[in-house]
Structure 1
Amino acid sequence: MNVLVTGGAGYIGGHMVLALRDAGHNPVVFDNLSTGFRWSVPEGVPLVVGDVGDHELVLRTLQSHQIDAIAHFAAKLVVPESVADPLGYYLNNTVKSRTLMAAAVAAGVEKFVFSSTAAVYGNASDKPLGEDAPLAPLSPYGSSKQLTEVMLRDVAAAHGMRYVTLRYFNVAGADPALRHGQCTENATHLIKVAIQTALGLRPHMEIFGTDYPTPDGTCIRDYIHVTDLIAAHVLALEHLDRGGESMVVNCGYGHGYSVSEVIETVRKVSGKPVEARFGSRRPGDPVTIVADSGRIRSRLGWEPRLDDLATIVEHSLRWESMLRERNLKL
């Protein structure tokens, strides 16, 4: 398949590009490079620098590269930032996704994989969440993704498109072969922040809220290795290529770790201290978010291989250490 990967120069989209090539498909990267990196696009993979809100450019790209399917990763994704800038998030995540879908319809692209989020569930339950759980996002980020899910469902019904929407839980880790990883400066991802603190790249880190109704008072999340997450996307594309039906699936392991447990794991794996200071809760943060992943396992045959927090931390640490060494040489 020829697959347009929006946000393909970024963290998760970049792993998708590698996985598509590994599986024998032909990725085309579409990225405005606002958070992605030109150097991260593998040699030989076409890169179109542009915005998914540019209908004419997207349409020309779909047609000129004879695109068979779209994997849509391009989005803003920082929850506190979305609370402060809701209009920016609705524009970037929802309005521009509408433009992308319109171009897909015009070009006759009938297969669409969408990167959604567990943030659509809000503060739902301390039990694993199934895809049919009520949707009640706590942030504009979650709402912007929920609206895009609804739009994709309706566009698919009207125009014969088929799709898989994947609701991510907390993505972390790096390619085990160190071909790609999280490169964003000033990242907010807990594991990356903790590792940067362990490596001395940050003087300390902050725990946002210690009074949640959890065993240690900190939030609980379901952490999924980016390699397992991307394997789910490839399965979703191949499912659609076989004529499979549209579906919504969770991408998580089905168990969670608290913020304090993650920090302690980083200390153990790195063998270094991690100074963590206590702060107040952030707006939009749910208490506990853990996936029920039964649907993706049964319908797509997804079998995660890296379901281990220490492994996720180890791969992240190796990647961050490599980045640090490279930056020191520059």
Structure 2
Amino acid sequence: MTVLVTGGAGYIGSHMVLELADAGEKIVVLDNLSTGFVWAVDPRATLVVGDMGNQALVETVIRQHGVDAIIHFAAKIVVPDSVADPLGYYLANTVKTRAVMAAAVATGVKHFIFSSTAAVYGTPKVMPVAEDAPTQPESPYGTSKLITEWMLRDASAAHDLRHVVLRYFNVAGADPQGRTGQSTPNATHLIKVAVQTALGLRAKMDVFGTDYPTPDGTCVRDYIHVTDLVGAHLAALKHLRAGGASMVANCGYGHGYSVKEVIDTVREVTRVPFKVDYAPRRPGDAAAVVADPTRAKTILGWKPAHEDLNEIVQAAYAWERRLANGPG
């Protein structure tokens, strides 16, 4: 049995490959390297460079490597960019994922794990937000992921394909052993941007919006350590292989931090009073989004171990320092 990881040369995907390899799984990675890196792929995995939208290629990879499960990460992920380029996001996140699903059905793959997003909820009316909350995405990014969830639901109903959809909240941090981390140039992840600013790699950082209906006026998010996130994927894989039913589950901790609180934590960890400018709101940003992770914990048996914000920031800081010296 082999696990196909799409986008396995990227941030979360490379952590997933480590988690799978450490668990003794055989892995093949499919990545076009548009935002990923060859050096980020653990040598215990086989890397195929190519486009996930090429259904024939995906089918060939599945057959050649005896793939029984797909963990699908490859996607575009920047909310403001999706507002500016909606058709590009629907192509990358929806149309090309349809090709991966079709390849899975054509080759008899029975297990599919899809990386979705809390952006499908928009601004929840009740928090923490549970999986049965209304889905009202406020950006093309969120909509592109929600449509894909629907496609996967319908494909699973029509074919012998069971799935787990994992709705990510705000992913941050890096591998505790320093093997990989968030390495994409000009990434927009808040903690990465703050750490880079503390290291002098950016002259300043911007905070977008200070007038949200939150305690300090800045957006509140549920930040999840990337190692805990990929642990949820491994739990989902075990669930499916054991005959578990298709399901949707949130991946978050159930508590949030504001943008200002994150910046304060980065300043505390790095001991650098870096410059912060305040700018207007960005389109597509919800005021506050915090997960209810009960389903992942009770059904998948997920046990997060890195919930402390200081630990998340310390891991991101250590990785950024290493990245400056060339991790590859």
Query: In the alignment, which residue of structure 2 is the partner of 1:214?
Result: 214
Once the two structures are TM-superposed, the CA of residue 126 in structure 1 deviates from its matched residue by 5.6
Aligned-residue Cα RMSD (Å) equals: 1.0
Following the alignment from structure 1 to structure 2, what is the Cα–Cα distance between the partners of residues 228 and 134?
26
Following the alignment from structure 2 to structure 1, what is the Cα–Cα distance between the partners of residues 44 and 297?
33
Query: In the alignment, which residue of structure 1 is the partner of 2:43?
Result: 43
Query: In the alignment, which residue of structure 1 is the partner of 2:117?
Result: 117
SS at the partner of 1:68? strand
Once the two structures are TM-superposed, the CA of residue 125 in structure 1 deviates from its matched residue by 2.8
- 8 Å contact kept, 2:21–2:44: no
Q: Tell whether 2:12 aligns with 1:3.
A: no
SS at the partner of 2:234? helix
Following the alignment from structure 1 to structure 2, what is the Cα–Cα distance between the partners of residues 46 and 301?
29
Following the alignment from structure 2 to structure 1, what is the Cα–Cα distance between the partners of residues 123 and 306?
27
- 8 Å contact kept, 2:11–2:183: yes
Query: In the alignment, which residue of structure 1 is the partner of 2:244?
Result: 244
- 8 Å contact kept, 2:53–2:100: yes
Once the two structures are TM-superposed, the CA of residue 124 in structure 1 deviates from its matched residue by 1.4
- 8 Å contact kept, 1:6–1:52: yes
Mapping of residues 67-216 of structure 1, within 5 Å: 67-125=67-125, 127-216=127-216
Mapping of residues 273-312 of structure 1, within 5 Å: 273-312=273-312
Deviation track 1:158-212 (CA, whole Å, cap 9, x = no partner) reads: 0021000000000000000001100000010000000000000000000000000
In 2 relative to 1, CA 44–301 (structure 1 residues): closer, same or farther, beyond 3 Å? closer
Following the alignment from structure 2 to structure 1, what is the Cα–Cα distance between the partners of residues 125 and 17?
34
- 8 Å contact kept, 1:126–1:288: no
Following the alignment from structure 1 to structure 2, what is the Cα–Cα distance between the partners of residues 207 and 125?
24
Mapping of residues 303-322 of structure 1, within 5 Å: 303-322=303-322
User: What letter matches 1:20 in structure 2?
Assistant: L
Following the alignment from structure 1 to structure 2, what is the Cα–Cα distance between the partners of residues 274 and 167?
32
Following the alignment from structure 2 to structure 1, what is the Cα–Cα distance between the partners of residues 151 and 247?
14
Following the alignment from structure 1 to structure 2, what is the Cα–Cα distance between the partners of residues 261 and 23?
35
Following the alignment from structure 1 to structure 2, what is the Cα–Cα distance between the partners of residues 197 and 318?
14
Q: Tell whether 2:255 aligns with 1:255.
A: yes
Following the alignment from structure 1 to structure 2, what is the Cα–Cα distance between the partners of residues 176 and 199?
20
Once the two structures are TM-superposed, the CA of residue 325 in structure 1 deviates from its matched residue by 2.5
- 8 Å contact kept, 1:225–1:307: yes
Q: Tell whether 2:7 aligns with 1:19.
A: no
SS at the partner of 2:81? helix
- 8 Å contact kept, 2:14–2:40: yes
Following the alignment from structure 2 to structure 1, what is the Cα–Cα distance between the partners of residues 273 and 54?
47
SS at the partner of 1:326? coil
SS at the partner of 1:203? coil
In 2 relative to 1, CA 126–259 (structure 1 residues): closer, same or farther, beyond 3 Å? farther
Once the two structures are TM-superposed, the CA of residue 326 in structure 1 deviates from its matched residue by 2.8
User: What letter matches 1:5 in structure 2?
Assistant: V
Once the two structures are TM-superposed, the CA of residue 39 in structure 1 deviates from its matched residue by 1.1
In 2 relative to 1, CA 203–91 (structure 1 residues): closer, same or farther, beyond 3 Å? same
SS at the partner of 2:67? coil
SS at the partner of 2:273? coil
Following the alignment from structure 2 to structure 1, what is the Cα–Cα distance between the partners of residues 283 and 326?
36
Deviation track 1:111-136 (CA, whole Å, cap 9, x = no partner) reads: 00000000000011362000000000
Count of matched residue pairs: 328
Following the alignment from structure 1 to structure 2, what is the Cα–Cα distance between the partners of residues 150 and 79?
20
Once the two structures are TM-superposed, the CA of residue 44 in structure 1 deviates from its matched residue by 3.6
Following the alignment from structure 1 to structure 2, what is the Cα–Cα distance between the partners of residues 261 and 208?
14
Query: In the alignment, which residue of structure 2 is the partner of 1:272?
Result: 272
Deviation track 1:204-256 (CA, whole Å, cap 9, x = no partner) reads: 00000000011110000000000000000000001101111110000000000
